[in-house]
Chain A
């Protein structure tokens, strides 16, 4: 047997392997022949042994899907899919669409309605909150103006001026209080609102990542 026969036989004996695996084996032995410079081809072939035996060992190793040597302390057995398979899930989802879509629309509309009413409620409160100091301030200014216009009775005019100042001061205080309250409550409220919106989305995301 010469080198050509050796490779022909090896190639034939490895025909069961994927071509990439087979090419790797052939490359290895081609290198081997070229690197064994001191030896003749016949000596190399004698040392390597029967190509059938070489191929049988490689095929056996290939078939042992689990590489055994490090198996015990390292690689855990491949995780099996737990729960329902993704394909079954897909089929279930497809079948659920006729029921699911109206349900989702109804649910969505309800949620949207609730959301809008909440926003409207908040807007109303804000407007009311701004309206009180604004009204007080406007009343104060109006009373001041009026007291100058109706200058008939100095006493009543002075009283009106006083009332105007009181209203203006109350308006200013109420405004300051409002600003303070806004600073205190709006950011956490806003955060809470965002968290409320994000909660179902996060749940979905976690569920998808697990799937």
Chain B
């Protein structure tokens, strides 16, 4: 992707992925990398930030004889995601107006 990724966009993408179902670090990394070119180690600081903001929570769950840490979206995270979706729609519309005329 030739456009730089802002941290707020990355936050929103992670929230959108986690909002679908509880999921874990590796899966989130792979899902984000489907849509944007980030390095594999970019995600931890994002997850940590969202945890500290109260947008995500973690819980440990036994899987295949070990404990895996899962991330879950909080009600606050859902609110933030809804705001981000609204902001995104406005941003997209204004950019497209410039690009393609309106």
Q: Which residues of A contact B (CB under 8 A)?
A: 24-25, 27-29, 31-32, 34-36, 44, 47-49, 53-54, 57-58, 60-62, 67-70, 73-74
Contacts and interface: CB of A to CB of B under 8 A. Distances in A.
B75 interface: no
Given A24-B48, A32-B26, A69 B11 contact: yes
A70 B55 CA distance: 10
B66 interface: yes
13 contacts: A24-B48, A32-B25, A34-B68, A35-B24, A36-B26, A49-B41, A54-B44, A57-B44, A57-B45, A58-B44, A58-B45, A68-B7, A73-B83
Nearest to A27: B69
Contacts of B48: 24, 58, 61-62
Contacts, number: 65
Contacts of A44: 40
Given A31-B69, A58-B44, A70-B11, 16 more contacts: A28-B69, A31-B68, A32-B40, A34-B66, A35-B24, A35-B68, A44-B40, A47-B40, A49-B39, A57-B42, A61-B49, A67-B53, A69-B7, A70-B53, A70-B55, A74-B80
